[in-house]
Amino acid sequence: ALYEHPDPRRGEHKDWGTLIFDYGRNEVRNFLVANALYWFEEFHVDGYRMDATAYMNPGSHAASGWALMQRLNNEKYNRWADKITIAENLPNNEWVSKPAAEGGAGFDSQYHMLFRDAVRNAIFTAAFGDPDMNSVRSGLLGSGQYINFVKALNYVQLHDEAWPSSGGQRLVKTIDGSYPSNDEWAKGRSKLAE
C-alpha cells in the first residue's frame, strides 16, 4: 500500500481490481527504475517486457506514468546498447516506441495487436470453410498504419488471449471446440498461424 495511489477512486485498476502505483511519487519511480536496472545488472537479462503500459498513463497519471517510462528507457539506453525493452501496449500507439528525446516513451518495440488480429482472422476464416491462402498471406504481409511499423513485435496469441476467465482460449481450441481439441486440421492451422 505504500506505493499505491492514495485515492482509490483515481488509483483503482478496474480490470484487475487492484490499486495502481502512484507514479507521481519520487519513491515509487525510484523503486521501479531501480528494480528494472537491477535485473539488467545483477541477472544480465537481455531485456524485458513491461506489462500493460497503456494503464500507466491514463487520466491523473498521464504525465507521471509517461515520465516514468521515458526515464526507465533513457537510463537503459544510456547504460546498455545491447539491452531491449518491449511494451505491452494494446492497442498499438506509435509514440510508445518513439525515442524519449522526441517525446515518445522510448521502448525499443511494442506488441503488435493489429498483426495478431489480421493473422487470426485469416486463420479462423480458413478453419471455418474458406481455406483461401491469399487471405493468410495478406494477414502475414500486413497492411495499415502499424503493421509495417519497424518497431513492432508480431505475435498471434499471448496469455491475455488464452485466459479462460476473460473468455479467451488457445487458437486450436477455438478452431476445434470438441474435447480434447486435437483435430489435425485445427493443430495444423494453429501451427501455420504461429
Name the residue among 173, 168, 152, 29 with its Cα closest to residue 92.
Answer: 152
Nearest partner of 192 among 146, 145, 125, 114, judged by Cα: 125
Bond before 164 cis per omega within 30 degrees: no
Q: In Å, how far from its chain's centre is CA 86?
A: 8
Contact 72, 85 (CB under 8 A): yes
Query: Is 160 in the active site?
Result: no
DSSP of 28-55, one letter per residue? HHHHHHHHHHHHHHHH--SEEEETTGGG
Residue with cell 537510463: 75
* Catalytic status, residue 88: yes
Residues in contact with 157: Cβ distance below 8 Å, sequence separation at least 6, in sequence order: 116, 120, 170, 171, 193, 194
Which of 7, 27, 41, 51 is catalytic? The answer is: 51
Active-site residues: which are they? 51, 88
